[in-house]
Structure 1
Amino acid sequence: MLAERAPLPDIVTGPAVFAGEDACLTVALLMGLRGVRPGHPLLIVDGANAFDPFLISDLARKSGMAPQILLDQIRISRVFTCHQLEALLQGRLADAVRRFSAGAVYFSGILDPLLDEDVPTAEAGRIFRLIPPVLRALAAARVVTVCACPPPVTMPGRERLFPALCELAPWVFEVVSEGEHPQIRVTCRKPAAATWTWEPQIGLIAPRRWW
């Protein structure tokens, strides 16, 4: 669908985790968009508050399509609290996947709601335990499943959340920008070590975070 493609393997099975700098949000989005087909949109669970319609419009124009065509292939659910994330994980997301026949699900900042200092550590851990079965179910249904973890990925008392997410994912990537006119270095940590370099032809390498 898109002319702009991050240099990643053509086949990524199971949940994939992208971490590193904020540019990981863009690389993960591009991976999620690979799963989009006519009638099978991308569902975005936006815990990072980072959905950027200007970035989407730029991607569409670079691919010679009207921005609205690409935007119409995306359904977004903004997640501002850990309990909104919990509600999605406990059934609302599965309902949306069925209703829209989603081709892909992209969790933007899947850990962000759990790293809120106002959320008790035990509560964050309880909600985190809902994540693995949801990711496995999506992968089993052949839904492209992508998680982005922009910084920070941890806080005192929650040091195990990010490593646990990486342990359950068959694919883990680290994303770093380099140079004055940034190149993006994508390093695969799992299942096998590999590194790719990407020179984006888009204006925004990292989406705006709408704090």
Structure 2
Amino acid sequence: MLKDSAITQPIPNLVEHELLILAQIVALDAPASIAHALTTHSLLQRTLRNESIRLIIGDNHFDAYAIARAALHQQINPGTVLEQIELSRAFTCHQLHRRILTLDDKRLKRWHALYVTGLLDTFYDESISFDEAARLLQELLVRLKYVASGGLPVLITLSPSKQLARTSLAKMVAQNVDAYWRIDRDTLTQPTSTHSQMALAL
């Protein structure tokens, strides 16, 4: 059961300062604009440390220009920073399922973290039955837990569903991660963490 406790720190300060979350798999449940800002900040901080990141995009959003501008601001070649990010996009839940289930175990060792952004966006597609979406999501989460068990931190972002019938998908995610952050425009919720082996920087 996730327990909510309010943190008074405003969202702008959260973006300005790097956080360490003690967990193997972290889920960030937030409106898309907030999730994108935090993820971009996190990617920038990691790549500036010369870390290689695997990024799987499920919501067709990646602000390479923001990362490039930030790199230039710090007098770093944007190309050098962006080369640290290995990305792929998925436009359906079946594609996202395949992207994750076919992650090469040997290549996992090359990365410092795995990011999956907009995890549930394609699962909200009503042309896919709920049972099918739930099955694919469960298989995908099992694979992510296996990846994390090997020592690779995983960050998942998801946006709230506008469809009541699909809200249980977010609950399924919450039951399969080590820390779950729920953020809205007014309140920041502290995660409940069941494990503390890995530190994932946001």
TM-score with structure 2 length normalisation?
Answer: 0.76
Alignment of structure 1 residues 150-165 onto 2, 5 Å: 150=159, 152-153=160-161, 155-165=163-173
Q: Does 1:191 align with 2:164?
A: no
Alpha-carbon distance between aligned partners in 2 of 1:7 and 1:97, rounded to the nearest angstrom: 33
Cα distance, 1:100 vs. partner? Answer: 7.2
What runs of 5+ residues in structure 1 fail to find an aligned partner? 179-184, 193-211
Cα distance, 1:97 vs. partner? Answer: 6.4
- Preserved contact between residue 25 and residue 154 of structure 2 (Cα < 8 Å): yes
Query: Deviation digits for residues 85-134 of structure 1, max 9, x if unmatched?
Result: 1212322xx21761771111111101111111211212101101112212
Residue 125 (structure 1) aligns with:
134
Aligned-residue Cα RMSD (Å) equals 2.7
Q: Which has the higher helix share?
A: 2
Alignment of structure 1 residues 163-202 onto 2, 5 Å: 163-177=171-185, 186-191=188-193
Alpha-carbon distance between aligned partners in 2 of 1:46 and 1:124, rounded to the nearest angstrom: 17
- Preserved contact between residue 13 and residue 139 of structure 1 (Cα < 8 Å): no
Alignment of structure 1 residues 45-124 onto 2, 5 Å: 45-91=56-102, 94-95=103-104, 98=107, 101-124=110-133
Alignment of structure 1 residues 21-40 onto 2, 5 Å: 21-22=31-32, 23-31=34-42, 36=47, 38=50
Q: Does 1:16 align with 2:18?
A: no
Indicate the structure whose relative CO is greater, using CA pairs within 8 Å and at least 6 residues apart: 2
Q: Secondary structure at the match of 1:190?
A: coil
Cα distance, 1:6 vs. partner? Answer: 4.8
Q: How many corresponding residue pairs?
A: 179
Identical counterparts, % of pairs:
22
The letter for the 2-side match of 1:109 is G
TM-score with structure 1 length normalisation?
Answer: 0.73
